[in-house]
Amino acid sequence: MIKIKEAIIVEGRYDRIRLAALFDTAIIETGGFRVFKDDEKKTVIRELAKARGIVILTDSDGAGFVIRNFLKGIINDNTRLKQAYIPDIKGKEKRKSQPSKQGLLGVEGMTDEIIINAVLNSGASVLGEEARKSVENITKTDFYFYGLTGRENSEEYRKAVLKKLGFPQYMTTNAMLGAVNMIYGKKEFEELLDEIQG
């Protein structure tokens, strides 16, 4: 498994599963065109781009390029964005009964070698064993101890933290936990909370 710094953005669940077997990094699925109206997901993608950079890997069909261009448009700093491209290969994925509209294989239908080369050729930053650091994940229990859940003023405090992070105020606790774990280590997040409490 290859550890890279950047998060990888893919279109669907099967793409995410495919990439998770090859890369040790955060992998986010857009849900196809659903990302256009999903403010939470758009915010998470923007924050990931700021924190660690992102690699966009969509299918090579027209829909893939519409999604790719949309993502490029929502990220303010395109120096934090890398583009990974798969070749146009005719065919259909095994799980599908029909080929795509344009008759091309999507990300999930590509060989490991093609996917790995596409991501590495995008300029993704490979992290070696010497760069590997143990990052402790934040849990729901931690959120309770931090006062972000289960306390009298948890909702107000959580909203203050969401505001500081640049996340939507209506973000669910689970979505917040997932996003925080993708961007921060436990120690780094605790330092941020100390700063907010001032």
3-state SS track over 66-133? HHHHHHHHHCCCHHHEEEECCCCCECCCCCCCCCCCCCECCHHHCCHHHHHHHHHHCCCCECCHHHCC
d(CA 146, CA 80) in angstroms, rounded, equals 31
Domain ranges across the chain: 2-130, 140-197
3-12, 57-66, 115-124, 181-190: least confident range: 181-190
Report percent pLDDT > 90 for the chain: 48
How far is it, in rounded angstroms, from Cα 4 to Cα 118? 13
Q: How confident is the model at residue 135 (pLDDT cuts 50, 70, 90)?
A: low
Cα–Cα distance between 194 and 164 in angstroms, integer?
A: 12
Average confidence score pLDDT of the chain: 87
Give the pLDDT score at 127: 85
The class that CATH gives domain 2-130 is: alpha beta
Reported pTM: 0.70
Q: What is the mean pLDDT of residues 112-130?
A: 84
Q: Give dist(CA 108, CA 11) in Å, integer.
A: 10
pLDDT band with cut points at 50, 70 and 90 for residue 8: very high
Distance CA 198, CA 130 (A): 35
Instruction: Compute the average pLDDT of residues 35-61.
Output: 92
